[in-house]
Structure 1
Amino acid sequence: MTPTSPPADLRALTSLRFLAAAWVVMYTFWPDLNFGLVPVAVTKGYLGVETFFILSGFILSHVYLQAAGEKQFRYGGFLWARVARVYPLHLLTLAGVMVLGLAAVAAGMTIHGDVLSWASLPAQLTMTHAWGLAPAAGFNHPSWSISAEWFAYLAFPAFAFVAWRLRSRPWLAVAGAALFLVGLYLAFEAMAGFSLTEATFRWGALRIVPCFALGCALYLVYRRAPLKRAGLWVAGFAGAMAVSASLGAWDGITVLLAGGLILGLASMTNAGAGWLASKPAVYLGEISYSIYMVCVPWQILAVNIAARLTGAEDKRLSVGVWLVVVALLPIVAAASYHLVERPARTALRGMANRRRAAQTDTADRVNSPERVLQPSETIV
């Protein structure tokens, strides 16, 4: 069967990024809510990160796999584009938490011992703090996942090498990736005593590997032939994923269902994706990285201010105040997206484009038959 020609954009997957980020936000902010009930699905919010990891494997394969398979992949350009995507906001939030921590110390407030982990700073700056190279989480804790992503970016040629050779057997690739994920989860939990899906700065680089591989394999299925009646598959996987998370099922089940949801959403046409392809939903997906990265700095700042203003004990906010704090997060994220993330990414990619254009221009002039030789040059 001839591979399908994918659409230029997969809007439903962009919107899914916001939903995954929102799941993480609920998990992060719920302890600040003065409410007796904690839904099991909220306690599983860390699995929103697994959803991001699967999406990364799928989307990067969507963009780069064919070029990698046909030996047209520019590794340096790929890595620079990834740095332009994640590094500026990582630096901003790192600096932001650093400033908040220093301000708290200067004000005589007690902070968590790991927040200002100066020994972790070199690994933070090199995005290797989820590789077991940092003694503590330190600073903006969610950035461990960016370190894990960086590991997957560096290893992308290896993922692409395997995926390209399995492109004619996509379901075999999915089965292999699923078995690898289940086996690794079981082995890690048996040895470490806790689930790999709960690992952060010590094992984050390992945590992304099975999810990223699953995303690459699922892309092969989509590339070969998107699912028919995709809307039904999306409803089925979304419902099963919600039930799995709500019942506190083994994390591996929920993660595999998330992979199925991603394949189903990718298989939907933009016209058939409904509100998931709408401009507001896509915009929220576009700022989802900012939402994720400013989540903890905003939590530190906003919850402390709100608790002082309302006299909340133990910094646990009333439902109304808590909703305001959470609702303001996308606004703060939109500001960081438009003021930092997007301009910095554009500038860094522009630098690469100008350098590549200059190199191309130089090569053209050197190889041009009409070029006039300089006195010091000779023809060999």
Structure 2
Amino acid sequence: MTPVSTPADLRALTSLRFLAAAWVVMFTFWPDLKVGFVPVAVTRGYLGVETFFVLSGFILSHVYLQAAGEKRFRYGDFLWARIARVYPLHLATLAGIMALGLGAVAAGLTIDANVLGWASLPAQLTMTHAWGLAPAAAFNHPSWSISAEWFAYLAFPAFAFVAWRLRARPWLAVTGAALFLIGLYLAFEAAAGFSLTEATFAWGALRIVPCFALGCALYLVYRRAPLKRGGLWAAAGATGMAVSASLGAWDGFTVLSAGALILGLASMTNAEAGWLASKPAVYLGEISYSIYMVCVPWQILAVNVAARLTGAEDKQLSLAVWLVVVALLPVVAALSYHVVERPARTALRGMAERRRARQADTADRVNSPERVLQPSETIV
């Protein structure tokens, strides 16, 4: 069956990235709020990362699967594009945490010993710190997921190989991916004593695998034909996520519900997506990576400053102050997006384009029938 022509921009999925990041932000910042309760859904905020992972498999398949299946996929160009996407901001936030840590030490303040875990720096610089290669959970903690993403990028040809061969049976692929996810979650928890969805530095590279595979499989359904009732699927997925997270149900239910939400949103037209396809929502989605990566550096800086200015004990902020701190995070993220993330990505991709242009120009000159041999050249 020939795939149906589908929109290329998938605006609602871009906006969903912001909602996933916001869930992680609530999980991260809630302990700084002076209240006597924690909503169960907030305690499950780490599952926002799983949503990112499923989205990653879906979007990368959307962009690259056809080329991979038709042998037009250029692995080196793909990896360079992914480095351009994630590495500059990773380095910037890594340097930021170092500066904050060293500044705190110079000021005589007490910091967590693992914040400046220099033994973990080589793994951080190579984005392998979620592969069990970092001795401690050091520096910018959320960056473990970027290391996990890097693992999935390196392994993308393997995911694409399987997905391409199942493209004619997309629901079989989804069923297999779902069963794989369930089986791996159950087996890991039985062996390790904790959920794979809570793994970071030690098992983060494994944590992304079932989610990324699910995203690849869901894309096959979308590729064959977007769902006719995408809105109902999206509503069902969102409801499943909300209910399972609020009740503290098994994390696997929440992740599978996230998959239904993603497939449903992808199947909706931009008109049907409403505010999720609006420019403000899409912009927030575009800066969601910055929101995620500057979350902890901003928390360290802003919470400490706010606590000193307001005299808050044990760094527990009042609701009004806490809301200001959290509301300023997207502003800081927008700054990092426009100053670091976007310019660096553009520059690195420009380097690759210029290199390809030079190679093409060289090939054209070498293969030109009108080319004149230079005196130093020899015909063999």
In which range does the TM-score fall when normalised by the shorter chain? over 0.9
Determine the C-alpha separation between the residues in 1 that align with 2:73 and 2:5: 19
| Counterpart code for 2:58 | F
Q: Give the superposition deviation at 1:379.
A: 4.1
Q: Give the superposition deviation at 1:152.
A: 0.2
- What is residue 83 of structure 1 aligned with on the other side? 83
Q: Give the superposition deviation at 1:267.
A: 0.3
Secondary structure at 1:272 match in 2: helix
- What is residue 60 of structure 2 aligned with on the other side? 60
2:51 touches 2:255 (CA, 8 Å); kept in 1?
A: yes
Matched, 1:39 2:39: yes
2:227 touches 2:264 (CA, 8 Å); kept in 1?
A: yes
Q: Give the superposition deviation at 1:375.
A: 2.4
2:236 touches 2:260 (CA, 8 Å); kept in 1?
A: no
Determine the C-alpha separation between the residues in 1 that align with 2:131 and 2:114: 17
Matched, 1:194 2:208: no
Matched, 1:253 2:253: yes
- What is residue 371 of structure 1 aligned with on the other side? 371
Determine the C-alpha separation between the residues in 1 that align with 2:292 and 2:376: 57
| Counterpart code for 1:291 | I
Q: Give the superposition deviation at 1:229.
A: 1.6
Q: How does 1:151-162 map to 2 (within 5 A)?
A: 151-162=151-162
Secondary structure at 1:3 match in 2: coil
| Counterpart code for 2:143 | S
Q: Give the superposition deviation at 1:378.
A: 4.0
- What is residue 223 of structure 1 aligned with on the other side? 223
Q: Give the superposition deviation at 1:355.
A: 0.4
TM-score w.r.t. structure 1 length?
0.99
Q: Deviations over 1:24-53 (max 9, x none)?
A: 000000000001121000000000000000
| Counterpart code for 2:73 | F
Matched, 1:330 2:330: yes
Q: Deviations over 1:66-86 (max 9, x none)?
A: 000000000000000000000
- What is residue 118 of structure 2 aligned with on the other side? 118
| Counterpart code for 1:321 | V
Determine the C-alpha separation between the residues in 1 that align with 2:44 and 2:138: 23
Matched, 1:232 2:229: no
Matched, 1:204 2:204: yes
| Counterpart code for 2:15 | S
In structure 1, runs of 5+ residues without a counterpart are none
Matched, 1:184 2:184: yes
Determine the C-alpha separation between the residues in 2 that align with 1:5 and 1:72: 20
- What is residue 10 of structure 1 aligned with on the other side? 10
Secondary structure at 1:218 match in 2: helix
Q: Deviations over 1:92-141 (max 9, x none)?
A: 00000011001111111111111000000000000000000000110000
Q: How does 1:279-318 map to 2 (within 5 A)?
A: 279-318=279-318
- What is residue 214 of structure 1 aligned with on the other side? 214
RMSD over aligned Cα atoms: 0.7
- What is residue 107 of structure 2 aligned with on the other side? 107
Q: Give the superposition deviation at 1:240.
A: 1.6
Matched, 1:94 2:94: yes
In structure 2, runs of 5+ residues without a counterpart are none
Determine the C-alpha separation between the residues in 2 that align with 1:184 and 1:110: 40
- What is residue 271 of structure 2 aligned with on the other side? 271
2:123 touches 2:134 (CA, 8 Å); kept in 1?
A: yes
Q: Give the superposition deviation at 1:264.
A: 0.3
Determine the C-alpha separation between the residues in 2 that align with 1:33 and 1:24: 15
- What is residue 127 of structure 1 aligned with on the other side? 127
Secondary structure at 1:273 match in 2: helix
Determine the C-alpha separation between the residues in 2 that align with 1:262 and 1:234: 7
Determine the C-alpha separation between the residues in 2 that align with 1:224 and 1:75: 25
